[in-house]
Structure 1
Amino acid sequence: MPAWPPELSRYCCQIDFLRYAGAVLRQLLTLVLLLGAHPMMSETRQAISCAAPGVEIVASYVSHAIKLDAAHPAAEWQTARPVSFCSDWQGKNPDPERETQVHALWSAETLYLRYECRYRELYVFGDADANGRRDHLWDRDVAEAFLQPDPSREHYYKEFEVSPNGMWIDLDVFPGGISDLKSGMQRSVVLNERSHTWAAELAIPMKAVTPHFDPGAVWRANFYRIEGSKEPRSYMAWQPTHTPAPNFHVPSAFGKLRFSRH
């Protein structure tokens, strides 16, 4: 057979290349669609996302008081970029069905926190003080915040807890002990058993955390969740503490809380 003219040979090669490239692209697209549709792959991506939190949360500024309504959050919460976590206190075993998101807002008088929590099961106390305070709240399902306005005093910080049914406790933590903080914290909690989610909004007076609030200061902070009726319970942390047994009281593992002026 006579050889193809050089110009025609180049033309045919280009056609073959385009056909080959098109086939490869179709295969890649099919693979991407299959991976996206596969529930295990989707869950894996979600687990990776909620298991790799940053080390900093930024509180967005508000110039006025925010009305707490966990079921119908104020529009200002949309300005707060959340942090999320779903891994245990060692940074292992991510569980997207127990993911927690935390938003933060601040004014000169108040630090606002909003928790959005997914859960597998509920385990809560049925009784509390008349004002909703419940001692040993950590023995049931809770969301927690540890706040340290002065990192130079490593073993001094404040602890705030809230449960899916609205109970709460606040504590002053110091070397060798704890005491009731009596912060005047306000809260709003909503539970949706159909979607297996609950949300809580907290309003924490700045004066209960630090006598002289400086928005230019960088606080240390950590956020936690506890869930489950019996051991091994789920002890989840935003910043892992990496202790052999579950322990949230590790200030050296706290992340950073910054206050944005925007």
Structure 2
Amino acid sequence: MKSLVIRFTEALNDIDIESAGDILDTFGEASNIEILNWKAEYPYRPITLFNIARSSDSIFIKYSVRGSMLRAIYSNDQDPVNEDSCVEFFCQVPNSDKYMNFEFNCIGTCKASKRLARNSDVTPYSKEELSMIKRYPSLGRRAFKEMEGMFEWELTVKIPLRIMGIDPNNLPEKIRGNFYKCADGTDSPHYVTWNPVQTPKPDFHRPEFFGDLYF
């Protein structure tokens, strides 16, 4: 099982999301989303890196992706962005049966919920809560159909701790989570993970395979 540290970075306090990426490059903990758990059926693996850190009240993640094919047809929050060129962060706080899924396509459209399992006891985040999740996509926010070629893109997101059920003034030692790269609906479908997922078919909704994320 992998682990990483979500370090407190004072420079992230009261900063615009557009400027957070440079701070994450310097002070965030860097890692790769590179594990092909289902290589025989889905061998494609775009290069996907992320940097993570936190401010006093939020977690910041910067994703950097390089790969073939690019798609972003969904522009409304809670659309099925996993079908587009997509990066994801799933997490679970201590003493909770539920986990959270935060999914973003390459133009920053977000799908997020709290749930017991993939299709069980699902509570989507409200429009107000989604508006609190700040995003800065390098590609802009305009939707587009799938394009062929080699592409590089970045996405920086800010997720408030409170909407994750975490009191910023009383942080747990750690939470558990996983990071993903996928693109279900493209001509190059892929399912890549940070921590290994030991299931016969692609399934990101498996908190038993989350790694440890320390505060």
Contact 1:90 / 1:240 at 8 angstroms: preserved in 2?
no
**Aligned residue in 2 for 1:60:** 7
Give the strand-richer structure, 1 or 2: 2
Contact 1:89 / 1:239 at 8 angstroms: preserved in 2?
no
Per-residue displacement from partner, 1:49-100 (whole Å, max 9, x unpaired)? xxxxx71122121222332127x8333531112110223234787756x121
- Amino acid corresponding to residue 147 of structure 1 in structure 2: C
> Structure 1's 148 and 198: CA in aligned 2 closer, same or farther, altered over 3 A?
same
Give the helix-richer structure, 1 or 2: 1
Write out the 4+ residue segments of structure 1 that deviate beyond 3 Å after TM superposition: 89-96, 191-195, 213-216, 228-232
**Aligned residue in 2 for 1:171:** 113
* Pairing partner for 1:148 from 80, 92, 105: 92
**Aligned residue in 1 for 2:135:** 187
* Pairing partner for 2:18 from 59, 62, 69: 69
* Pairing partner for 2:52 from 104, 116, 119: 104
Contact 1:68 / 1:74 at 8 angstroms: preserved in 2?
no
1:243-254 matched pairs, under 5 angstroms: 243-254=199-210
Question: What runs of 5+ residues in structure 2 fail to find an aligned partner?
Answer: 141-146
> Structure 1's 91 and 195: CA in aligned 2 closer, same or farther, altered over 3 A?
closer
- Amino acid corresponding to residue 73 of structure 1 in structure 2: G
> Structure 1's 74 and 65: CA in aligned 2 closer, same or farther, altered over 3 A?
farther
Say yes or no: does 1:240 pair with 2:196.
yes
| In structure 2, C-alpha distance between the alignment counterparts of 1:66 and 1:149, rounded to whole Å | 26
Say yes or no: does 1:113 pair with 2:55.
no
| In structure 1, C-alpha distance between the alignment counterparts of 2:6 and 2:43, rounded to whole Å | 25
- Amino acid corresponding to residue 69 of structure 1 in structure 2: E
Question: What runs of 5+ residues in structure 1 fail to find an aligned partner?
Answer: 1-53
> Structure 1's 235 and 118: CA in aligned 2 closer, same or farther, altered over 3 A?
same
| In structure 1, C-alpha distance between the alignment counterparts of 2:111 and 2:86, rounded to whole Å | 10
Using the size of structure 2 for normalisation, the TM-score is 0.80
Say yes or no: does 1:128 pair with 2:71.
no
| In structure 1, C-alpha distance between the alignment counterparts of 2:68 and 2:138, rounded to whole Å | 16
Contact 1:59 / 1:103 at 8 angstroms: preserved in 2?
no
What is the identity percentage for the equivalent residue pairs of Structure 1 and Structure 2? 19
Q: 1 or 2 for the larger relative contact order (CA 8 Å, sep ≥6)?
A: 2
Using the size of structure 1 for normalisation, the TM-score is 0.67
Deviation at 1:174, TM superposition (A): 2.2
| In structure 1, C-alpha distance between the alignment counterparts of 2:187 and 2:137, rounded to whole Å | 26
| In structure 2, C-alpha distance between the alignment counterparts of 1:73 and 1:233, rounded to whole Å | 27
CA RMSD of the aligned region, Å?
2.7
* Pairing partner for 1:157 from 99, 102, 105: 99
- Amino acid corresponding to residue 8 of structure 2 in structure 1: Y
Question: Rg: which structure is higher?
Answer: 1
